[in-house]
Amino acid sequence: MNEIIAPLVDEIIRALGTTLNRAIVEDELTRLLEFKVPPEEARRSLLKKYGVSEVRRLSDLQGGERDIEITARILDINLKVVGIKDQERNIFMGTMADETGAKSFTAWKDFGLEPGDVVRVNNAYIRTWQGMPEINFGPRSKVEKLDRDTLDALATADVDRAFPLAELVEGAAAVHTIFRILECRHKEITTKNGPRTIVSGTAADHSAKLPFTSWESNPTLVQGTTVEVKNAYIKLWRGVPTINLSEFSTISRSDTDISNDELSPLLNHEPVRLDSITGRDGVFDAIIEGSLISIRPGSGLIIRCPQCSRVIQKNTCRVHGVVEGIYDMRIKSILDDGTGALTVVLDADLTQKVTGYSIEKAREVAASAMNQSAVEDEMRRRLLGRSMLARGNMTKGEYGITLVADDASLTEMDTAAEAAALIKEMGYAGPVQSGGT
Amino acid sequence: MIERELAWRVFAHEFNHSHHFFHEGDERSPNYLVTPTGARINRLYFVGVLTEIENIGVGEDMWRGRVSDHTGGFMVYAGQYQLEAAMFLSGLEVPSFVAVVGKARTFEPEKGTIYTSVRPEELNRVDGQVRDRWVVETARLTFERIWSVRTALESGLKGPQLVNMLIQSGASTELADGINRAIEHYPDLKEYLEILSGTIIDSLKTLLPDTIKTDGTKEVDTVIDKSQALDSATSAVENVPLPEAQPDGKELVYELLGNLDKGRGVPVSELTDRSGQIGLTGDQVDDALKGLMSEGRCYEPKIGILRRV
């Protein structure tokens, strides 16, 4: 027996540290093996019982992990009162960072933590919250405050790097970035704690344009200024990554201004190539151009329920029964520029703009063909193969990548000039300049 | 979320020189045709001139159309499972400009002989602007791929290292993978890229302002003087006479072809005779016709009969 358990005991003691009596481990292990528990299972059982967590870095945490140990600095923490089973409870939510990155956390009891504290947390677990892994610790977890200097050398490097806007993804916490405010407005909103002024607007740098919302008003947030923000977080709002600034974020005027030159592709409204944006979660106010290679079924003349706006057939809504439908038009198209493809949706106004059809005319066409889909066919005939410029927010969802157009127009090219320019460019061995990447 | 396969832009010349078809994963995963420039085609989009249409089906309909760009022709097949496309094709007049979105297919009647074709998903009649624009955009994207393949060949890298290098230099993951496969599969890639570049430059030249107009000629000359295009697109370009070397032969034949055609095309013999009357030699007429055909401006509906596109 001893030959089997001795190495196992050694291993367990090594893993648990010296805090445990060797005799206890031997006893318990022997007992488990008497129950014919396989040695590997027995080892696991003991490690679990005496609470050994796996040491992990923040950047590789995945939802669903349990019993892990992390060491990180609290960047911000705030109290939230939540109702759990009709009882009010205080929980603490915030952001923590180690040398590999930052993550949100929730502490389910008061550990007396302050921003700046460096803590070692044992027995934490990871839950996926709003699509991102979040660190959780509660009564079963052990939280130990360390010397505040412990992480100093480490915590600064990557967490302090300012990220370009195009790299900010949903769920990112403790975000440091620099942007220019293209526009902003103050809004009064009502919260459960009374009225409150928030600031929302558009941020831009050389890489992208993103909306931002500051939940606190701040005198630095003025149109035209370049600001540096720290401890912001990114949430998807209507499918587009949005910079959120809370009371725990710092907002200051940047030392260097972002110039018009750096923003010129954005300010000049140049279309971007699809391969440069289809990899992103969502894009705010994208401008794209490509060929219309498909007009999807359900385009053309449609009828909507007057109460819920669902598209209905034969004046029957599947929720509201028989209703007097409202005529509308739309186009669901596939735009493809040879580097990527997405669905572009046009509303009635834009449908009229690109096809010349008003709703009245579409109804006449449908009536004379005695077929509603005659409009769709006619639009397909007019549009398929044509090039279109479209502008709007790009989002990703179950049905793929979609851009709901705020504006759209058909475009023509001076093909002689473009051909001449291309022949000239090809005279050199170098790459062909691709517009807008 | 299933990502939609993008519609690649390739010229018929490249499409018809492709013979590496692959399929990975389970039966539902897509098939790909890898072209010499590394386009990894499941779906493609092209605009050209319908120059032939024929029902080749026995018993049931199978329409076969040939859609030509300036570099060659795409064979498009539509049968009982592409009813809409078949109906559309069968109702088209030859010639017309058509835009085609479809899936790449291959047919291997015997080992080593592979024919590529297209199964259409969407078809539409379009105008010359749409065709010309497709030529420019396809040329640009193809040149970019040629450049990437050349970079890849020069690097001497292979496999994952090559793929990484290409992605770092801005290629999409699909293209990087395609180029890696193309380099493994096509032995005389360098030579083929030369030929392809030349063909594309020729194709672009057909979009330049009409060479017979004096102001237009000036513009073309400036373009060609300034560009060093002839250096890189060597042989193929040199074979095509510059505008001033043959200022009118081609255009005269083109004019004649239009005037003589009473709706059913013009026999070659008649065209040669009438060209002779205005002082062109038989060789000049042959050259002119070859030029017009390769530019996609005329075609041969039946052997010995010519028509303008």
Residue with tokens 């607007």: A201
Taking the C-alpha atoms of residue A137 and residue B146, their distance in angstroms, rounded to an integer, is 55
Give, in degrees to the nearest 5, the angle at Cα A167 between A163 and A170.
Answer: 110
State in Å, rounded, how far the first CA of chain B is from the last one. Answer: 44
Sequence letter at residue A78: N
Name beta bridge partners: B78: B63
Q: Which helix (H) or strand (E) holds B299?
A: strand B298-302
Whether B254 and B145 map to the same domain: the answer is: no
Chain A residues closer than 8 Å to B224 by CB: 423
Query: Per mean pLDDT, which range of A79-83, A204-208, A211-215, A406-410 is the poorest?
Result: A79-83
Flag if B136 and A434 touch (Cβ within 8 Å): no
Flag if A294 and B139 touch (Cβ within 8 Å): no
Chain B residues closer than 8 Å to A417 by CB: none
- Residue B15 pLDDT level (bands cut at 50, 70, 90): very high
Judge whether B221 lies within some domain: no
- Residue A17 pLDDT level (bands cut at 50, 70, 90): low
Whether B202 and B255 map to the same domain: the answer is: no
Judge whether B234 lies within some domain: no
Residue A246 near residue A75 (C-beta atoms within 8 A): no
- With CA atoms as reference, report the closest residue to B166 among B151, B156, B188, B154: B151
Average pLDDT over residues B11-15: 97
Domain that holds residue B117: 1-207
Taking the C-alpha atoms of residue A346 and residue A299, their distance in angstroms, rounded to an integer, is 9
- Residue A214 pLDDT level (bands cut at 50, 70, 90): very high
Taking the C-alpha atoms of residue A179 and residue A258, their distance in angstroms, rounded to an integer, is 7
- Cβ-count burial B143-168 (b if 16+ within 10 Å, e if not): bbbbbbbbbbeeeebeeeebbebbee
Taking the C-alpha atoms of residue B101 and residue A385, their distance in angstroms, rounded to an integer, is 9
Residue B72 near residue B13 (C-beta atoms within 8 A): yes
Judge whether B212 lies within some domain: no
Interchain CB contacts (distance < 8 Å): A and B: 138
The alpha carbon of residue A281 is apart from the nearest alpha carbon of chain B, in Å, by 12
Judge whether B264 lies within some domain: yes
Cβ contacts of A398 within 8 Å, gap of 6 or more: B1
Per the model's pLDDT, the better-predicted residue between A160 and B256 turns out to be B256
Count Cα neighbours of A266 within 13 Å in the Cβ-side half-sphere. 24
Question: Which of B207, B226, B256 is at the close of a domain?
Answer: B207
Flag if B136 and A396 touch (Cβ within 8 Å): no
Q: How many CB atoms lie within 10 A of CB A272?
A: 19
Taking the C-alpha atoms of residue B119 and residue B107, their distance in angstroms, rounded to an integer, is 12
Taking the C-alpha atoms of residue B196 and residue B126, their distance in angstroms, rounded to an integer, is 26
Whether B126 and B177 map to the same domain: the answer is: yes
Per the model's pLDDT, the better-predicted residue between A87 and B126 turns out to be B126
Judge whether B214 lies within some domain: no
- Residue B2 pLDDT level (bands cut at 50, 70, 90): low
Q: How many CB atoms lie within 10 A of CB A131?
A: 12
DSSP string computed for B71-86 = TEEEEEEE-GGGHHHH
Per-residue pLDDT for B201 more than 60? yes
**CATH number for the domain including B288?**
1.10.10.10
Using DSSP, state whether A62 is helix, strand or coil: coil
Chain B residues closer than 8 Å to A275 by CB: 172
Whether B29 and B102 map to the same domain: the answer is: yes
Per-residue pLDDT for A410 more than 60? yes
Give, in degrees to the nearest 5, the angle at Cα B75 between B69 and B78.
Answer: 130
Name beta bridge partners: A92: A79, A107
Choose the closest CB to A427 out of B140, B205, B228. B228
Residue A288 near residue A272 (C-beta atoms within 8 A): yes
The 10s digit of each residue's pLDDT in A38-47 is 888 887 777 7
Distances in whole angstroms, Cα of residue B17 to Cα of each of A204, A256, B11, B33, B34: 46, 54, 10, 11, 10
Cβ contacts of B100 within 8 Å, gap of 6 or more: B45, B46, B47, B48, B67, B74, B76, B118, B120, B122, B123
**DSSP assignment letter at A226:** E
The 10s digit of each residue's pLDDT in B117-163 is 999 999 999 999 999 999 999 999 999 999 999 999 999 999 999 99
Judge whether B237 lies within some domain: no
* Complex ipTM > 0.90: no
- B207 CB near a chain A CB, below 8 Å? yes
**CATH number for the domain including B15?**
2.40.50.140
Judge whether B227 lies within some domain: no
Using DSSP, state whether B98 is helix, strand or coil: strand
Enter the tokens of residue A130. Answer: 């709003």
Average pLDDT, chain B: 84
Choose the closest CB to A427 out of B99, B207, B232. B232
Per the model's pLDDT, the better-predicted residue between A186 and B292 turns out to be A186
**DSSP assignment letter at A167:** G
Chain A residues closer than 8 Å to B6 by CB: 274, 336, 338-341
Using DSSP, state whether B231 is helix, strand or coil: helix
- B204 CB near a chain A CB, below 8 Å? yes
Chain A residues closer than 8 Å to B5 by CB: 341
Per-residue pLDDT for A248 more than 80? no
Chain A residues closer than 8 Å to B230 by CB: 427
- Residue B1 pLDDT level (bands cut at 50, 70, 90): low
Question: Which of B155, B185, B207 is at the close of a domain?
Answer: B207
Phi-psi region of A199 (alpha: psi -120 to 50; beta: other; left: phi over 0): beta
Enter the tokens of residue B14. Answer: 């490249």
Q: Which helix (H) or strand (E) holds B68?
A: strand B63-69
The 10s digit of each residue's pLDDT in A102-141 is 788 999 988 988 887 889 898 888 888 766 788 999 888 8
Flag if A413 and B232 touch (Cβ within 8 Å): no
Question: Which of B207, B240, B268 is at the close of a domain?
Answer: B207
Provide the CA A343 distance to its chain's centre, in angstroms. 20
- With CA atoms as reference, report the closest residue to A392 among A343, A356, A340: A343
- Residue A19 pLDDT level (bands cut at 50, 70, 90): low
- B168 CB near a chain A CB, below 8 Å? no
Whether B142 and B270 map to the same domain: the answer is: no
State in Å, rounded, how far the first CA of chain A is from the last one. Answer: 69
The alpha carbon of residue A162 is apart from the nearest alpha carbon of chain B, in Å, by 22
Give, in degrees to the nearest 5, the angle at Cα A293 between B74 and A239.
Answer: 145
Taking the C-alpha atoms of residue A288 and residue A343, their distance in angstroms, rounded to an integer, is 12
Quote the number of domains for chain B: 2
Cβ contacts of A204 within 8 Å, gap of 6 or more: A165, A179, A180, A182, A210, A258, A263, A266
- B45 CB near a chain A CB, below 8 Å? yes
CA of B45: which chain A residue's CA is closest? Answer: A293
Average pLDDT, chain A: 85
Taking the C-alpha atoms of residue B182 and residue B150, their distance in angstroms, rounded to an integer, is 12
pLDDT value of residue B57: 87
pLDDT value of residue A18: 57
Enter the tokens of residue A231. Answer: 């401890």
Judge whether B128 lies within some domain: yes
**DSSP assignment letter at A208:** -
Per-residue pLDDT for B48 more than 90? yes
The 10s digit of each residue's pLDDT in B226-271 is 444 434 333 333 344 444 444 467 877 887 888 778 777 888 888 8
The alpha carbon of residue B264 is apart from the nearest alpha carbon of chain A, in Å, by 28
Whether B14 and B67 map to the same domain: the answer is: yes
Whether B272 and B193 map to the same domain: the answer is: no
- Residue B223 pLDDT level (bands cut at 50, 70, 90): very low
Residue A124 near residue A69 (C-beta atoms within 8 A): yes
Provide the CA B53 distance to its chain's centre, in angstroms. 18
Flag if B172 and A275 touch (Cβ within 8 Å): yes
Whether B120 and B188 map to the same domain: the answer is: yes
pTM, full prediction: 0.70
Tell which of A272, A288, A422, A424 to mutate to test the B interface (max B CBs under 10 Å): A422
The alpha carbon of residue B275 is apart from the nearest alpha carbon of chain A, in Å, by 30
- With CA atoms as reference, report the closest residue to A245 among A225, A259, A227: A227
Per the model's pLDDT, the better-predicted residue between A322 and B112 turns out to be A322
Query: Per mean pLDDT, which range of A245-249, A345-349, A382-386 is the poorest?
Result: A245-249
Whether B276 and B150 map to the same domain: the answer is: no
